[in-house]
Structures are given as C-alpha cells and as structure tokens.
Amino acid sequence: VSLTLSTNEGNASSPLLYGFMIEDIDHSLDGGLHSQLLRNNGFQGKDPSLEAYAAVGNVVLGIDSINPVSKAITRSLKIDIPGGTTGQVGFSNEGYWGIEVREHTYNTSFWMKGSYSGNVTIKLVGVINGDEYASKTITVTSSDRSFQYFQTTLSARAASNGINVWTLTFDATKAAGKSLNFGLVQLYAPTYHSRWNGLKPELAAPLEDIKASFLRFPGGNNLEGASENDRWKWNETIGPLHTRPGRQGDWGYPNTDALGLMEYLYWCEDMKLVPVVSVWDGFALYHGGATPFTGTALEPYIDDVLNELEFILGDKSTPYGAIRARYGHHDPFRVKHVQIGNEDAHDSEGCRTYPERFTQFYNAIHKVYPDLILITSNPNPGCLPEHLPKGVWIDNHLYTHPDAMVKDFNYYDNLDRANPFVVLEYAISQYAPPNGTNIKWPYMQGSVAEAVYMIGMERNSDFVKMAAYAPLLAHLDYSTYTPNAISYRYSKSTIVFSTTYYVQKMFSSNRGDTISKLDSDTGFGPVYWVASKLENSSTYYVKLANYGADEQMLSVDIPGTLSGKLTVLSGGKDDYNSDLHPNTIEPTESDIKGEGGKFAFMLPAWSVAVIVLK
C-alpha cells in the first residue's frame, strides 16, 4: 500500500474528537477511580446488608436505622457488646474485595454514637498473615445523644498483597453490656492532584496518558434510574459526604455518590477535559414499563436541570451559584455541552415521546443559555424532532461485532451534515459471526475494528465532533458488563490494560488539527488510514489499521519530513490481555528514517499503528 500526501487540502479536525464516557458501572467509580477505599460505608441503596463488614472479637453487628448518622445517611452499624466482654473488640471492613496498602499516609474517619470514653484503634491488617501495616490509637469521648465525627491519619508500610482489611477496635471493658453505633467509615490514600475526596492516582494516571479531550458523565444507564426517584439527582451528589444519601444505581449495587457533580467537574479541570453533562429527561430505565414524563409533568424536572446549570454556570450572586461558591468553587465551571437523556430510542415509548421532551428541554435551556451546545440522546430520525434546531449535536451509539463495525467505516462519509454527530459510546461487544457471543475482554480483531471505525470518524471529524469508548473501567470482582477498556482487582494488585485501551491511547495522544489528504494506489481494506497535521508545525500523524490476516508492505510519502516514530499494536486475531495474562499484547515503538520523505515498513497482520513524522 502506497500513501502519498495529496496536494489537495484536507478538512478541519475536531479538537474534542477523543474522550471519555463514565458512569458508575461495575464499580468503575465507587471502588474504582474514586479514592475512598471502604465498601458499604453508608449502608446505602435499596437493600443494605452487612456486606464487607465482620465482627472483631466477641460482639454482634447489625444495621441500625433507628440511629441514622444524618438525615441523608439513614443507617449505621450497631455493635452489641455482651456483658463481661474484655479486650479489644470492634469490626473490620474489607473494602472493595481487598484493600491495597502502599507506603502512604492514609486519612481515615468515622462517626460514632454511644456512651464511651477511651481508646479507639484503627489498623490496616493482612488477612492471610495477620501482619499490621498501620496502626493508630486515638482517645475519644462519645455520647448517646448524637453522632460525632472523628478523623485521623494512618502511616502505613506497603503490604505484600491486596488481601487486607481496615479494622476499628475499642476497649470492651468500657462498653460491656451496652451497644455502640458507628457510621460512614472512610479511608483515603493520597489522591490525584491531592484533591479532597479525589481520584485514585493509579487509575487516573493511565487515563491521563490517553490525553483525552472530554468527559461525558454521569451515564449511560446510570443516569436514568429504575424509576424517576432512582435517577441520578445532581443536588444529592454535592456538599459534605454525610449529606449525600447515595442511591440504588442501575448496575446492581448502591452508589455512594461520593464522586458527585463537583468531583466530576474537578476531574475535568485537573485532566483538562471538556465536560459533557448528561441530564435526566423524563425517561427512566423501563423495568416497570412506566410512561415517560411529558408536558406539564416534565416541568419540575426541567426546572431541576435549570437549577443544576445555575449551580454549574451561575455566578455567586445566583442562589445555586452561591451554593457552589460556598462549597469551594467561586467561579462558574466551564461547561458548554449538555446532553438531554440517554438512549431514548431503545424503548418505543421513549422514542415516541423524545421529540416532545427534547423540544421542551431545548426551549427552556436555550432561552437561558443560548451558547450551550445541546446533544440528543439518539440519532434515529423517527425519535427526534422533525426539524432539529441548528447547532444541536446528534449522538449515535454503536455496540456490535467487528465485521459490522468495519462495514461502518464510511458511515459518516455520506450523512447529511446539517447537524454534527457525536459517538458518545461505542465498543466491539461481540465476536464476529458465526460465534457471535458477547466478549469478556477486548481482543485484537475487535480492537482493530474499533481503530477502523475511529479512522472513519477522524476522517470526518469536521462533522463528527466527539467519540468515546464505553465502558471505560471495571472492577474484576464485580463484573456484570464486559468488555471494558481497563479492569482491576485489588486483592491481587492487578490492572489490566486491554488492547482497546492501547488503541485509545495511540489514537488520542497523536492528533493534528487538520486532516491531511493522502493519495493511495489502492482502496480502503484491509488497510485503513487517516493522516493529520498540526497547523503550526511540520508534524504529521498517520494512523493505520490492518484488518486482515496478512502483513502489508506500507510506503508513506510525506515530502519534507525526515524522521519518525512508529508505534505498533499487533497480535493474533483472537489474542487479548486478561487478569491471568495482562501483558500479552503491548504496543512497540521504533524510530524510522525516511529518504526524501518516504518511509517504508511492514504493517503486521491484525494491527493498529501510528507514525509521527517530522
């Protein structure tokens, strides 16, 4: 395959093209990216249990809703201490299936109620060997009247594995025959950018390496809720943690919402991501077959979104802007993109009512914030207003098998360009026919197919403004949805970077601002390509995908360039990285020298490559 820089000018490329979609799915946030390490700490959600807790010593644990920690945290842990008990007793929390203990200073805290005056000891302890990695004793005085907050630090040495628990014990002789209550226990390691209540650096760093441009949050299905009451409610995700009630998430577990609206927006600031805020549009996940809210019934929810936007964008003199300022962010956040709902076309009632609901939201938001870019939840003309206002962006999701995704390589070439497109979720989720089953791990053929689709989007990125692979993160000990770009497990200190993660990183971190046309001696397939140039430098980026079983000789001719760096990801068609074999496929880098701007190299079978030429 021979590619030569064309003398014809290429189109502009969206500066936002590659980004993230995040929602709390499979503990991607609670127990994943969020840095609080203890699980079930507020007994939130529909059906709380003692999951993650165990008694230490001769005591009985129970969940107590008569003694709530606060108005929002409506339950606490009750510990009955039998008469005559002596020694240290209390409870442990195993975190998210293990706590990885590193050489860090940890912040830890708890709420306590009950008549007690004496020592409380907090430790990080190995389950297998009983080793103590950290221990701190503080003196407390608590009473029966109300919960009190206690906080301290723990200096830890590194544990040999992640099978560790946090324990809290007290002197049984001082509480024998009584009960004590504890609530909202917390443990934080140092955070990304040292943010209070921030992100885990070991997961934030590989995300930062992708050099993404935007973050869509908070979902996905997890925005929607099983009913309107279970939807993600922005105003219950802000403020002190004991004022956030959490909710039953849509992926089978309670969400603490400790990573809430402001934490998403701080994440955007710290990683230089443009926020895409998705708002609830009257359509819940139809577990009960309820009708979406329309007309006057929708109005309170539209008001709620306007309040959320005032909280984000209003200055300090506005009621909600003042709350944001009080919580520490004096200036408005920079938000320019708001998405109305999620995947409303997936349900016939959702589809039927979306045109009306979208229009109601559009009119209300556009009136107050005419500069905001509003994004639809679906691309289906039958589920959109007949005349979509100019400036509205259309979201198209694609979960499919590799052959089908490759077929969509030129999907964006011929679409009507009146309204730009975004692809805020896509992934290879199945094997190609005849197998056709859902996949557990991103694998080479699938990741090459994603690269082909990304090349198709990048070629059209004057019109395709944003694209995000989903889901991004998953905990391996709570896996309901696969595949995911990055997976992890703390008990074994494992992080798996999938073939898809590497493709995202290679494509997103190597971007020009203008697409450069390439002349070729052959058509697309099995090799696909796109080139771009940084306007104010002589750097070119050429992205390639070989969706085929044969290696291909490539010649790339870009006059004026002298040397380049070639990054290649390749492997057997069905090869993948997993928890058992996390490093099967990794990108390789090499320098390539050109002669008179001509570079020749072999593109392996089933591969994705990027060359940066200067």
Q: How far is the CB of 220 from ligand AHR (least distance, A)?
A: 3
Q: Which helix (H) or strand (E) holds 426?
A: strand 421-428
Q: How far is the CB of 471 from ligand AHR (least distance, A)?
A: 5
What are the backbone dihedrals phi and psi of residue 75, each rounded to the nearest 5 degrees, phi first?
-135, 160
When asked if residue 64 is in the footprint of ligand AHR (CB under 6 A), the reply is: no
Q: Are 326 and 319 in contact, with CB atoms under 8 Å apart? A: no
When asked if residue 10 is in the footprint of ligand AHR (CB under 6 A), the reply is: no
Strands (E), 94-239: 105-113, 116-126, 132-142, 148-155, 164-171, 179-188, 214-217
When asked if residue 221 is in the footprint of ligand AHR (CB under 6 A), the reply is: yes
Q: Are 13 and 224 in contact, with CB atoms under 8 Å apart? A: no
- Within 10 angstroms of residue 45's Cβ, the number of other Cβ atoms is 19
Closest by CA to 341, choosing from 391, 380, 368, is 380
User: Which residues from 14-43 bind ligand AHR, rule CB under 6 A?
Assistant: 23, 25
The correct pick among 24, 228, 343, 395 for binding ligand AHR (CB under 6 A) is 343
Residue 188 makes CB contacts below 8 A (sequence gap 6+) with 35, 36, 37, 106, 107, 108, 197
Site pattern 407..436 for ligand AHR (x: CB under 6 A): ------------------x-----------
When asked if residue 342 is in the footprint of ligand AHR (CB under 6 A), the reply is: yes
3-state secondary structure of 605: coil
In the complex with ligand AHR, which residue's Cβ is closer, 442 or 526? 442
In the complex with ligand AHR, which residue's Cβ is closer, 342 or 561? 342
The stretch among 26-34, 166-174, 215-223, 313-321 that binds ligand AHR (CB under 6 A) is 215-223
As a whole number of angstroms, the distance between CA 51 and CA 30 comes to: 15
The stretch among 42-50, 218-226, 332-340, 487-495 that binds ligand AHR (CB under 6 A) is 218-226
The stretch among 31-39, 50-58, 216-224, 436-444 that binds ligand AHR (CB under 6 A) is 216-224
In the complex with ligand AHR, which residue's Cβ is closer, 24 or 458? 24
Count of chain residues binding ligand AHR (CB under 6 A): 11
The correct pick among 19, 219, 254, 321 for binding ligand AHR (CB under 6 A) is 219
When asked if residue 228 is in the footprint of ligand AHR (CB under 6 A), the reply is: no
Site pattern 454..493 for ligand AHR (x: CB under 6 A): ----------------xx---------x------------
3-state secondary structure of 241: helix
Site pattern 67..96 for ligand AHR (x: CB under 6 A): ------------------------------
As a whole number of angstroms, the distance between CA 273 and CA 16 comes to: 9
As a whole number of angstroms, the distance between CA 455 and CA 443 comes to: 18
As a whole number of angstroms, the distance between CA 506 and CA 272 comes to: 18
- Within 10 angstroms of residue 284's Cβ, the number of other Cβ atoms is 22
471 cis-preceded (ω within 30 degrees of 0): yes
The stretch among 219-227, 272-280, 443-451, 525-533 that binds ligand AHR (CB under 6 A) is 219-227
The dihedral built from the CA positions of residue 208, 210, 212 and 216, taken in this order, carries a sign that is negative
In the complex with ligand AHR, which residue's Cβ is closer, 172 or 384? 384
Site pattern 276..305 for ligand AHR (x: CB under 6 A): ------------------------------
* Largest Cα–Cα separation, the chain: 90
When asked if residue 380 is in the footprint of ligand AHR (CB under 6 A), the reply is: no
Q: How far is the CB of 194 from ligand AHR (least distance, A)?
A: 30
For residues 100, 223, 508 and 26, what is the CA-based torsion angle, rounded to 10 degrees? Answer: 30
| Interface with ligand AHR (CB under 6 A) | 23, 25, 219-221, 342-343, 425, 470-471, 481
